[in-house]
Structure 1
Amino acid sequence: SKRVNPVMHMNHKAGDKMYVDYAGKTLSIIEKDTGEIKEVQFFVAILGASQHTYAEASMSQQKEDFVTSVENAMRFFEGVPAAIVPDNLKSAVIKSSRFEPTINETLADLAEHYETTILPARAYKPRDKSLAEGAVKILYRRIYVHLKQKQFYSLEELNQQIWDLLDAHNHKKLTGRPYSRYELFIEDEKQKLRPLPQERFEIKYQSFATVMQNGHALLSQDKSYYSVPYQYVRKKVKLLYTKTTVEIFYKYNRIAIHPRNYKPYDYTTVAEHLASTHQFVADWSASRFIDWANNIDQNVADYIIQIIESRNHPEQAYKSCLGILNFEKKVGKQRLINACKRALDFRIYSFKAIQNILENNLDNAENEQEEEFDLPNHNNIRGKNYYK
């Protein structure tokens, strides 16, 4: 078919900008099990030139969800625009904890991964801005209204419905024009988008640690340990981690990379990292003591975790753990459980405390002696907050 060029009215350069925004009004889904109504966000992305549009519901406007939505939009358009223009997102100002990169760093990383640019909101002409807002308004009329009257029990179910309505929207002829957004996109814009990278983007978080005597660094977010080559013992290192991977850097060199392990107090160890003179005793790991304690009782496990957390190095705690858990054989399970309960109330975490409670029969709740009895006050044991 012959294209009538003057009719193809394009204010924007093809492949140039993708505008992203959230609708002011939220949608909702119903939790199947609880019947609780959860608010969900309505995300919209629109290509400047063809006005081809993508939309989806997501759980929040926080950066993890925002970045995923922006990615989903590019995957939907099957290409990367020269720039992404976020409109004044809440995500841009959500305060970061010390583990979290700011939204700006995250967006910069996303842009680098997709080889595009982020144009800060408001830095472009107000006339452009109306494009994303206009898209939100039209979608509101065409999609939103249909969704409001229905009940959805999952994000997937809601999105399926959104995408069906979206498809109709993109294929509908533009007002007073003989072509649709989709036709305009295929004709003019699709080939101007750059190809997508194969891998999806993963947010990188960072954390710092001093390598312990046993050649492992602590990822404080998960409380799990990762080995590094032995020469880095006592050195300060930086951990950069994603959902799946933990990389460890000393100065600017990467010295180790591991799959991320979410199990607290667990060790992820590469045998080559350990010096032959100091093969770390892998059996003596915190998770082993916690599992053992859990098999006795929740209170015992809580106490063992407190012991491990109150020491600077887990190894300092292992002897205490071993001693405490061995009391089960000597005094029986119930007395050990009661002693741990007592010590948890006193907030004193040591082998000696449990030993004193048992020797003085303070594990017996009826025993009134406790008023005169002083548990050892271990000033040499620094509480876990000391090290923060």
Structure 2
Amino acid sequence: MSLIKQVLQLKQLGESNRGISRKLSINKETVNNYIKTFQLNTWTYEELLAKEDPEVERLFHAGNPAYSDPRLADFLTRLPYFKEQLGNPKLHVTRQLLYEEYKHAYPDGYGKSQFYFHLQQNLVAQKDCVAMLADTYNPAEKLMVDFAGDKLSYVDTQTGEIIKVEVFVACMPYSDYTYVICVPSQKSEDFIFAIRMCLEHLGGVPPILTPDNLKSAVISNDRHEPKLNKALEDMGNHYHFVVLPCDPKAPTQKALVEDKVRTTYNRIYAKLRGRTFYSIIELNRALWEQLSLFNKTRMQKRPYSREERFHAIEKDRLKPLPACIYEMKYYANLQVQSSCFIELRHDKTTHFYSAPYIHVGKKALVIFTRSNVSIYVDGMQVASHRRSYEYGHTYIKEHLASNCRAVMERSASYYITWAAHISPDCRDYISEVFNPKRTNQPEEVYYKLCASIMSLSRKYELAAINKTCRQCIECKVFSYRKFEAILKHNILHDSADEPTLCYQAPTPTDHANMRGSSYFQ
């Protein structure tokens, strides 16, 4: 029997209020209030004692009429604002957020239950809330990913333009642990980057990834055998997860991440409204700050938070991350040119990468990432280079043919070293050719002269070459035609006394050139 019924029963027997208080060990004023309420109404003892206890409690504790509370006037002045915020789906404002702002502005206002009650009395409709059964999933088995329908934005500091960005949302369905990041678009590059950042945030890899049927994930959304995007396949091979897209017509396989998108609107979007951001990095920092609070907030009807649940059960069951991060792969079929290079054009830049000269003219499969370029011929990797984003050539000397290497390796030091192997006189002459005090011409101007002297040294006797070098140094002759004419003149004069096996008779043209010419000018 309830306490009120005991009071009524003793009063019916003629007990005084003080006596009832003493016998039931309750305050006398409490007894007085019960009896006063009984006397103000037309109830009878028999009628009240026949009712069930909850009905009796309701009659005696109905409380004051709600609209007699003085806090109502302040609430009604704020009510249009509450309706406006809740009625605009783009703002993603919840009753909880409005209540927090209301208590901050009016600490003596209604409590949470009364605040919700008056909102419900004045709003047209209330949305139903459906709780998903996360316990039907296995721990650390699946990662669900999706893009939010509504976009966030930031202001470009240089142009003042408002830049819209996509919001990537992912969750582990067992613990409901959530991850959110802003990326420039839903293209494959940004989609892959968002998944990579999510896996690094989780600190491990679940065996199954469940995306939507967007083009960045699925090329052909066949219900029974969808064709995956090659970029996502490569990423799955790198991180060792399989991709199981949801049904294109009824995507119930990722219902929890759909719910997390709505939660992102309510718990993150709404709190960032009114704030202006000036870069995607600044926007993501604010996003992650609110996301951390959300994951650390204790869930309703559960004695733990999403973060506690994830670290307690799922974190240790995830597969470890690979040693190196994943970079998206691009593919191109190119031909190895006659110069031993393939021409790679991407992102409005052109660069040339070398391949072994034995593959000139063959078709090559080029697989390149942000940092590396790999060249495959007949299924075998024949070259690998660091990626360059400027116009130019990247090569390995061994890839080039011998004649190409000879041309590319030419320099003043190269020719001086060569001359030193012939004779000291030849070395002194070649050194004087490249002497910066003698000339301000580029080194390349004298490469043909040095190459010609190399050719002459193989045809004529060393003594004649040395004599010519000494004479040219003395008379400051640094021209091939003059060097050759002096060399042949020396050979003609010395041939009578010292015939050589390497001697070649001058042609009539040579005689004509030598007659009347001054060799030492």
Q: TM-score, normalised by structure 1?
A: 0.66
Q: CA deviation at 1:281?
A: 4.3
Q: CA deviation at 1:24?
A: 0.4
Match of 2:363 in 1: 236
Does the 8 Å CA contact 2:134/2:174 hold for their aligned counterparts?
Answer: no
Match of 2:397 in 1: 271
Aligned length in residues: 270
The one-letter amino acid paired with 1:129 is K
Match of 1:41 in 2: 166
CA 1:127–1:175 in structure 2 vs 1: closer, same or farther (change >3 Å)? farther
The one-letter amino acid paired with 2:235 is L
CA 1:58–1:220 in structure 2 vs 1: closer, same or farther (change >3 Å)? closer
CA 1:24–1:75 in structure 2 vs 1: closer, same or farther (change >3 Å)? same
Does the 8 Å CA contact 2:352/2:393 hold for their aligned counterparts?
Answer: yes
The one-letter amino acid paired with 2:174 is A
Q: Deviations over 1:251-270 (max 9, x none)?
A: 10000001112222x11110
Larger Rg: 2
Q: CA deviation at 1:207?
A: 1.3
Match of 2:310 in 1: 185
The one-letter amino acid paired with 2:190 is D
Match of 1:289 in 2: none
Does the 8 Å CA contact 1:226/1:267 hold for their aligned counterparts?
Answer: yes
What CA distance in whole angstroms lies between the structure 2 residues aligned with 1:124 and 1:50?
Answer: 27
Match of 1:307 in 2: none
Does the 8 Å CA contact 1:207/1:220 hold for their aligned counterparts?
Answer: no
What CA distance in whole angstroms lies between the structure 1 residues aligned with 2:241 and 2:217?
Answer: 18
What CA distance in whole angstroms lies between the structure 2 residues aligned with 1:282 and 1:55?
Answer: 52
Aligned-partner SS, 1:71: helix
Match of 2:517 in 1: none
What percent identity do the matched residue pairs reach?
Answer: 37
What CA distance in whole angstroms lies between the structure 1 residues aligned with 2:248 and 2:185?
Answer: 25
The one-letter amino acid paired with 2:353 is Y
The one-letter amino acid paired with 1:26 is K
Match of 1:248 in 2: 375
Match of 1:376 in 2: none
Q: CA deviation at 1:226?
A: 1.1
Does residue 1:22 correspond to 2:147, yes or no? yes
Q: CA deviation at 1:173?
A: 1.2
What CA distance in whole angstroms lies between the structure 2 residues aligned with 1:276 and 1:268?
Answer: 17
Q: Deviations over 1:127-156 (max 9, x none)?
A: 432111001111110001112321000111
What CA distance in whole angstroms lies between the structure 1 residues aligned with 2:404 and 2:286?
Answer: 60
What CA distance in whole angstroms lies between the structure 2 residues aligned with 1:223 and 1:140?
Answer: 43
Match of 1:83 in 2: 208
5+ unaligned residues in a row in structure 2: which ranges? 1-132, 221-226, 411-521
Aligned-partner SS, 2:135: coil
Aligned-partner SS, 1:173: coil
Does residue 1:215 correspond to 2:344, yes or no? no
What CA distance in whole angstroms lies between the structure 2 residues aligned with 1:9 and 1:249?
Answer: 47
The one-letter amino acid paired with 1:45 is A
CA 1:71–1:181 in structure 2 vs 1: closer, same or farther (change >3 Å)? same
> 1:140-159 counterparts in 2 under 5 A?
140-159=265-284
Aligned-partner SS, 1:10: helix
Structure having the higher helix fraction is 2
Q: Deviations over 1:367-387 (max 9, x none)?
A: xxxxxxxxxxxxxxxxxxxxx
State which of 163, 170, 173 in structure 1 corresponds to 2:288.
163
